Amino acid sequence: MDFRGKKVVVAGIKRSGLGAATLLVQQGAVVQAMDSQAPSAEEQASFQAIGVEIVPQRPEYLQADVIVLSPGVPSDIPMWVAARQRGVPVIGEVELASYFLKGPVIGITGSNGKTTITALTGHLLRSCGVACQVGGNIGTAVTSMVRTSHDHAWNVLELSSFQLETIQQFRARIAVCSNVTPDHLDRHHTFENYADAKARLFETQQVGDVAILNYDDPTCRAFAERTKATVHWFSSSQRLATGLWMARDQLFYNDEPFMMRSQIPLLGLHNVENVMAAALVAHLAGASPDAIPPAISSFPGVEHRIEFVRELRGVKYYNDSKATNVDATLKAVNAFTGNLWIILGGKDKGGSYAPLKPVLAEKGKGALLIGAAAPLIRETLNGDLPLVGCGTLSRAVEYAHGHAEAGDTVLLAPACASFDQFQNYEERGRTFKHLVKELS
């Protein structure tokens, strides 16, 4: 698409919005940014530096030939719907990037695990001498990766449902889905809508592309019917004729031994699945199969994903702030044998907390409740384990420090978004780590 001289409105002024606006200015567009919130001084300065004005997100300011939505901006807002009805193209930041991005794309999505798979894929490719750059929902906005892309390097992209719901021509040569469980229902309204957004990654693939899917997840399995790509499977529970699978703590590629589970440095069965997905990607992207297992063993893990913080008086503290939905929290809890003090709560995302009941009744010594969702969680878990209303993360850490005994584990795995008390899950996780490291 030629943007020279076109009036383009970029909705959203965070990282992706700034990346989109910068790319559009470089392409000769006349750009205006808008947001539903007043910009901070830093945001104002960043857009002024590229010559772009920020205006309120209201219809009277919407004069555009093209509208580009940041991932955080819902696509069903009435002003965007009305613009589409007038024939104005409304695209997402990832779609915009795809018009200019050089080199093949690896697209990685899923309700849980996509960050670990993305980071691990980048680690494996680099360790095995395969050129790549990593970004998307993790780190660098896709539009900001255009400048550093080139024809002979992979673009490894973590892609959320928010990013995928607006793609049209964007194409991943290798596409991955780790799993699909209820999440972001406050945005997508139904699980079907949410799953459909994930499926877009596979629907835009072409013959000759590759789809890597979790055979154990029924929604992922169904994506095989929605793509023209060749499907490769992974499974932690079933033998596969082709793909990566596990039996008795041994991983196999097709029928050949690949590596032992004990060589994987990450906790939890879900991380075995993440490793299998990333290993398949690395192999199909050109990494030598023999070089992949040692590279897996050297992977340091991802910040805010079952991240060990410290041990104090025999109590271990783990940060899994990225567990922003119930399924992610379940995976984190299942990585431990018991004696758990779990910190739950934040901004509710519209799902049910009921799946936590049996596993916390078995493994939990207490749930420390914080944030706006605390009453909902209390109502669901009442009677299953001791519940302590702490309100804030600092009071939860203080309570855990005063009541946990040697052999216990304190786990931040909130099952909620962070936006009621923090800017994002990263700030929540780093605050937790700071609080824990300050304990004496």
* Single residue among 242, 265, 297 that ends a domain in this structure: 297
Range of the domain at 323: 307-438
Q: What is the mean pLDDT of residues 323-350?
A: 95
Q: Is 353 found in the same domain as 258?
A: no
Strands 409-412 and 340-345: parallel
- The pLDDT value given to residue 183: 77
> Which residues, in sequence order, are CB contacts of 264 under 8 Å at separation 6+?
271, 272, 275, 296, 297
Give the pLDDT mean for 265-282. Answer: 96
CATH number reported for the structural domain that contains residue 393 in this entry: 3.90.190.20
**Of the residues 37, 69, 93, the one at which a domain ends:** 93
Co-location of 263 and 124 in the same domain: yes
Q: Residue 384: what pLDDT?
A: 85
pLDDT in tens, 206-230: 999 999 999 999 999 999 999 999 9
Query: What confidence tier does 1 reach under pLDDT thresholds 50, 70, 90?
Result: confident
Looking at the structure, do residues 242 and 338 belong to the same domain, yes or no? no
Pairwise CA distance, residues 316 & 312, whole Å: 7
Specify the pLDDT at position 189: 84
pLDDT, average across residues 282-294 = 96
What CATH number has the domain bearing residue 248? 3.40.1190.10
Reply yes or no on whether the pLDDT at 62 is more than 80.
yes
Same domain, 396 and 312: yes
Domain boundary among 35, 65, 93: 93
Whether residue 284 is found in the same domain as residue 375: no
Please determine, for residue 370, whether its predicted confidence score (pLDDT) is greater than 90.
yes
Q: Is residue 302 part of a domain?
A: no
User: Do residues 145 and 280 both lie within one domain?
Assistant: yes
pTM: 0.87
Please state the φ and ψ torsions of residue 369, each to the nearest 5 degrees. -100, 130
Structural domain count of the chain: 3
Note whether 56 and 161 are same-domain residues: no
Residue 2 lies in a domain: no
* Dist. CA 139–CA 308, nearest whole Å: 21
Alpha carbons 307 and 411: distance in angstroms, whole number:
10
Edge-first strand order for the sheet with 90-92 is 53-56, 30-35, 7-11, 66-69, 90-92
Same domain, yes or no, for 165 and 217?
yes
Average pLDDT, stretch 266-273? 93
